[in-house]
């Protein structure tokens, strides 16, 4: 709506996790580096946790984008209430097994063989389970068993679990201790600090700004954004988007604190 007015090539604060917009804060950078290291080692589980909106999904998308397509096959699943059969069928589907060949029974056997055939063709296989805090204990145990599939030299499947802080709590339960012992990489993403929040906002604006320097955000406006968002990128996006609308509505060129307060009011009203 305000895109043209501010001369943006596209919306700077869209909330879809688009790797093009990735801002490598210290934490995002550290997490990405660890994940790459984990993939190189190709053993054990990798786990990323963090509050809603901290950038976990974007991080995984960015990781995938940086992988060599010829080398990696990835299966990306959003966990919900699925059974072990469904889990295995979904993995097979994601890594390219035609629907007509999906197994009705003997799932583990079929998965094992299919993974082996991929590995023999020189592929690495990565399974990402997003929103993994929703997985039942039973399913987490099945996933641990999946991670047991291996040839003499190596694992057949690398597994990355991504989830909200409840996932961490779950993994600390005694019944999952075997899985916990397998975790090679664990990283907890936190919200951005004040300085990174400022850099984050500027980073997104710079990516779409066609007229350098436009629009400006006053320091008091920025402080209000940080105070409300507490550094959570999704909330920052939401507030900035609405604040820009408020600035545009008065045909302003600089986002001021009032615009941010308007934005916050709007968000709070909608979330009632
Ligand atoms: N490091 C980052 N760089 C750019 N945008 C980010 C970053 N982290 C989060 N975002 C943005 O915040 C929003 C929420 O991120 P998302 O990955 O969906 O969070 P989560 O999966 O942790 O709930 C998305 O719009 C995403 O683009
Ligand atoms: Mg997510």
Q: Which of 157, 132, 146 is nearest to 73 (CA)?
A: 157
Best residue among 23, 26, 58, 240 to mutate for probing ligand 1's pocket (most ligand atoms within 8 Å of CB) is 58
The string over 237-267, giving b where at least 16 C-beta atoms fall within 10 Å of a residue's C-beta and e elsewhere, is bbbbbbbbebbbeeebeebbbbbbebbbebe
Q: Considering the entire predicted model, what is its pTM?
A: 0.92
Domains 3-10+192-270 and 26-189 share a fold: no
Residue segments in the chain with a per-residue pLDDT below the cut of 50? none
The phi and psi torsions of 189 (rounded to 5 degrees) equal -85, 135
**Residue reference for tokens 């700004």:** 209
Question: How many angstroms does the Cα of residue 149 sit away from the middle of ligand 2?
Answer: 27
- pLDDT (0 to 100) of residue 155: 80
**What does CATH list as the number for 3-10+192-270?**
1.10.8.60
- pLDDT (0 to 100) of residue 35: 96
**Dihedral sign computed on CA atoms, order 193, 199, 202, 204:** negative
Give the ligand at the shortest distance from the Cα of 49. Answer: 1
Q: Collapsing DSSP states into helix, strand and coil, what is residue 257?
A: helix
Question: How many angstroms does the Cα of residue 132 sit away from the middle of ligand 2?
Answer: 10
pLDDT digits (tens, 9 = 90+) for 117-154: 888 888 889 999 999 999 999 899 989 988 888 777 77
Give the HSE-up count for residue 49: Cα atoms under 13 Å, Cβ half-sphere.
15
How many Å apart are CA 89 and CA 99, to the nearest integer? 9
Question: How many angstroms does the Cα of residue 49 sit away from the middle of ligand 2?
Answer: 10
- Give the H or E element holding residue 67: none
- pLDDT (0 to 100) of residue 42: 79
- pLDDT (0 to 100) of residue 272: 64
- pLDDT (0 to 100) of residue 110: 86
Ligand 1, CB within 6 Å, residue ranges: 15-18, 21-23, 25, 28, 50, 52-58, 233-234, 237
- pLDDT (0 to 100) of residue 24: 97
- Give the H or E element holding residue 187: strand 183-189
Torsion of CA 69, 72, 78, 82, to 10 degrees: 140
- Give the H or E element holding residue 131: none
Question: How many angstroms does the Cα of residue 56 sit away from the middle of ligand 2?
Answer: 5
In the numeric block, which tokens belong to residue 248? Answer: 């545009």
Torsion of CA 81, 87, 93, 96, to 10 degrees: 140
- Domain boundaries along the sequence of the chain: 3-10+192-270, 26-189
List Cβ neighbours of 206 (8 Å cut-off, separation of 6 or more): none
- pLDDT (0 to 100) of residue 177: 94
- pLDDT (0 to 100) of residue 210: 85
C-alpha dist (Å) from residue 237 to 129, 227, 233: 25, 14, 6
**Domain covering 26-189: architecture:** 3-Layer(aba) Sandwich (3.40)
């Amino acid at each position: 709506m305000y895109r043209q007015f501010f001369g943006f090539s596209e919306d700077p604060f869209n909330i879809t996790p688009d790797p093009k917009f990735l801002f490598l804060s210290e934490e995002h950078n550290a997490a990405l580096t660890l994940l790459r290291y984990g993939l190189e080692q190709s053993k054990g589980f990798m786990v990323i946790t963090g509050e809603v909106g901290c950038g976990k999904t974007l991080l995984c998308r960015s990781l995938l984008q940086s992988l060599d397509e010829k080398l990696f096959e990835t299966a990306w699943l959003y966990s919900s209430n699925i059974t072990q059969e469904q889990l295995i069928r979904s993995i097979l589907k994601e890594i390219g097994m035609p629907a007509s060949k999906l197994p009705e029974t003997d799932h583990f056997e079929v998965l094992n063989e299919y993974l082996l055939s991929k590995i023999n063709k020189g592929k690495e296989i990565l399974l990402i389970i997003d929103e993994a805090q929703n997985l039942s204990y039973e399913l987490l145990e099945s996933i641990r068993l999946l991670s047991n599939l291996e040839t003499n030299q190596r694992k057949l499947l690398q597994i990355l679990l991504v989830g909200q802080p409840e996932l961490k709590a779950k993994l600390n339960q005694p019944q999952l201790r075997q899985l916990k012992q397998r975790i090679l990489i664990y990283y907890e993403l936190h919200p951005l600090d004040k300085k990174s929040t400022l850099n984050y906002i500027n980073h997104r604006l710079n990516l779409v700004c066609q007229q350098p320097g436009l629009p400006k955000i006053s320091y008091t406006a920025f402080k209000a954004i940080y105070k409300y968002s507490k550094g959570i990128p999704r909330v920052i996006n939401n507030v900035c988007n609405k604040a820009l609308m408020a600035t545009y509505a008065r045909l302003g060129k600089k986002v001021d604190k009032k615009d941010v307060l308007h934005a916050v009011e709007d968000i709070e009203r909608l979330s009632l």
